Structure 1
Amino acid sequence: MNSSIVLMSDARVTAIPLQECGETLVDVRAHSLKVDDRKFDTAGSYAHVRQGVLDRLLHAQSVLPDGLQLLFVEGFRPPSLQKRYFEEYAEELTRAHPDWQAAEIRAATSRFVSPPEIAPHSAGAAVDVTLTEGQGRELDMGTRVNASPEESSGACYTDAPNISDQARSNRAILSGAMEAAGFCNYKTEFWHFSYGDRYWALQGGFPAALYGPAELP
Structure 2
Amino acid sequence: MILLSDPRVAEVPVHECGEPLVEISSVPAIALDPRERDAAGTYGRVRAGALERLRSAAGTLPDGVGLLVVEGHRSSTEQARRFARYEDRLRRSGITDPVELRHRASAFVSPVEVAPHCAGAALDLTLVDAEGVELDMGGAVNGHRSGDERSCPLDAPGLSARARHNRDLLARTMSGAGFVNYPTEWWHWSYGDRYWALITGAACADYGPV
Q: Which residue of 1 aligns with 2:102?
A: 106
Among 32, 35, 40, the alignment partner of 1:35 is 32
Distance in 2, matches of 1:162 and 1:73, equals 25
Distance in 2, matches of 1:88 and 1:102, equals 14
Contact 1:34 1:70 in 2 (8 A): yes
Q: Secondary structure at the match of 2:184?
A: coil
Q: Within the alignment, does 1:86 sit opposite 2:71 as a pair? A: no
Corresponding letter in the other structure for 2:208: G
The alpha-carbon distance between structure 1 residues 150 and 57, as it changes in their structure 2 partners (threshold 3 A), is: same
Q: Which residue of 2 aligns with 1:197?
A: 193
Q: Within the alignment, does 1:138 sit opposite 2:172 as a pair? A: no
Among 116, 120, 144, the alignment partner of 1:120 is 116
Contact 1:149 1:156 in 2 (8 A): no
Q: Which residue of 2 aligns with 1:177?
A: 173
Distance in 2, matches of 1:113 and 1:42, equals 21
Structure 1: 4+ residue segments shifted above 4 A: none
Contact 2:33 2:68 in 1 (8 A): yes
Equivalent pairs, count: 209
Contact 2:143 2:149 in 1 (8 A): no
Contact 1:112 1:149 in 2 (8 A): no
Corresponding letter in the other structure for 1:45: T
If the length of structure 1 is used for normalisation, what is the TM-score?
0.94
Distance in 2, matches of 1:62 and 1:150, equals 32
Distance in 2, matches of 1:54 and 1:77, equals 15
Q: Within the alignment, does 1:56 sit opposite 2:29 as a pair? A: no
If the length of structure 2 is used for normalisation, what is the TM-score?
0.97
Corresponding letter in the other structure for 1:174: L
Q: Which residue of 1 aligns with 2:63?
A: 66
Among 197, 204, 210, the alignment partner of 1:208 is 204
Q: Secondary structure at the match of 1:213?
A: coil
Q: Within the alignment, does 1:76 sit opposite 2:82 as a pair? A: no
Distance in 2, matches of 1:29 and 1:43, equals 15
Q: Which residue of 1 aligns with 2:4?
A: 8
Q: Secondary structure at the match of 2:5?
A: coil
Q: Secondary structure at the match of 1:26?
A: strand
Q: Which residue of 1 aligns with 2:125?
A: 129
Q: Which residue of 1 aligns with 2:19?
A: 23
Distance in 2, matches of 1:162 and 1:86, equals 28
Distance in 1, matches of 2:163 and 2:94, equals 31
Contact 1:149 1:155 in 2 (8 A): no
Report Cα offsets for 1:70-122 as digits up to 9, x if no partner. 00110000000000000000011011024x41111101000000000000000
Q: Within the alignment, does 1:45 sit opposite 2:50 as a pair? A: no
Residue 150 (structure 1) shift = 7.3
Residue 155 (structure 1) shift = 1.0
Query: Unaligned regions of 5+ residues in structure 1, if any?
Result: none
Report Cα offsets for 1:143-201 as digits up to 9, x if no partner. 11001187114210000112211111100000100000000000000000000000000
Identical-residue share of aligned pairs (%): 48
